[in-house]
Structure 1
Amino acid sequence: MKRALLVGAGEVGAKHLTALSGTPGLAVAGVADPAPRTDVPRGVPLFASWRAALRAVTPDLVVVAAPPGTALAAARDAAQTGAAVLVEKPGTTDPAALAPRPGDGRVFVAFQPHFAPGLDALLAERPAVVRAEVRLAVRRDPGYFRGWRRTYAAAGGVLHQQAIHGLALALRFVPGDVEVIDAAVTHCRGLAETEDHVAAAITLSGGATVQVDARVDHDGPPAHELVLHLADGRRLDVRGRNLEAGLGEIAAAPTHEELRRAMYAAVLDAAEGRPAHPCLFPLTALRRPLEVIDRVYRDARVVRAAHAAAA
Structure 2
Amino acid sequence: MRRVLLIGSGEVGAKHAHSLTRTDGMDLVGVADPAPVVAPPAGVLLLTRWETALERLAPDVVVVATPPGTALVAARAAARSGATVLVEKPVTLDPADLAPEPEDNRIFVAFQPHFAPGLAALLEQQPTARQAAVTLVCRRDRAYYRSWRTHYATAGGVLHQQAIHGLALALRLLPPSPIASCTAEVHRVRQWAESEDRITATIAFDDAAVLTVDARVDSVDQTRRHEVTLHLDDGQHVHVRGRNLEAGLDDPLSAPGDLELRQAMYRALPAGAPGPRHPSLFPLPQLRRTLEVIDYAYRTARNVSEAGTAA
Q: Shared fold (TM-score greater than 0.5)?
A: yes
Q: Is the 8 A contact 1:61 1:268 kept in 2?
A: no
1:254-273 equivalent positions in 2, closer than 5 A: 254-269=256-271, 271-273=272-274
Q: Which amino acid aligns with 2:301?
A: A
Match of residue 91 from structure 1: 91
Instruction: Please state whether the residue corresponding to 2:102 is helix, strand or coil.
Output: coil
Say whether 1:36 aligns with 2:36: yes
User: Gaps (5+ residues) in structure 2?
Assistant: none
1:184/1:301 contact within 8 Å kept: yes
Q: 2:237 maps to what in 1? A: 235
8 Å CA contact retained: 2:87, 2:109: yes
Distance 2:52 2:29 in 1: 13
1:235, distance to aligned residue in structure 2 (A): 1.0
Q: Counterpart in 2 of 1:250?
A: 252
1:266 and 1:16 map into 2 onto residues whose CA distance is 15
String of CA shifts for 1:208-236, please: whole Å, max 9, x gaps.
10100000001133110001112222211
- Structure 2 residue identity aligned to 1:282: P
1-side partners of 2:253 and 2:59: how far apart?
36
Choose 122-131 or 133-142, whichever is displaced more: 122-131
- The amino acid of 1:82's aligned partner reads G
Q: Is the 8 A contact 2:270 2:277 kept in 1?
A: no
**Root mean square deviation, CA, Å:** 1.2
Deviation (angstroms), 1:307: 5.3
2:180 is matched with 179
Deviations 1:140-166 (A, max 9, x none): 121111100011110110000000000
Alignment of 1:80-119 (within 5 A): 80-119=80-119
Instruction: Tell me which residue corresponds to 1:46.
Output: 46
When structure 1 is superposed on structure 2, of 76-85 and 95-104 the one drifting more is 95-104
What's the TM-score, normalizing by structure 1? 0.96
Q: Is the 8 A contact 1:134 1:213 kept in 2?
A: yes
Aligned pairs for 1:139-154 within 5 A: 139-154=139-154
Task: Flag structure 1 segments of 5+ consecutive residues without an equivalent.
Answer: none
- Name the aligned partner's letter for residue 77 of structure 2: D
Question: How many angstroms apart in 1 are the aligned matches of 2:192 and 2:230?
Answer: 32
Alignment of 1:270-309 (within 5 A): 271-306=272-307
Correspondence 1:18-33 to 2 at 5 A: 18-33=18-33
| Partners of 2:42 and 2:290 in 1: CA distance | 39
**Amino acid corresponding to residue 31 of structure 2 in structure 1:** V
The percentage of aligned residue pairs carrying the same residue is 57
Secondary structure of 1:217's counterpart equals: coil
Secondary structure, counterpart of 1:97 in structure 2 = helix
Aligned-partner SS, 2:136: strand
Shift of 1:185: 0.5
Report how many aligned residue pairs link the two structures: 307
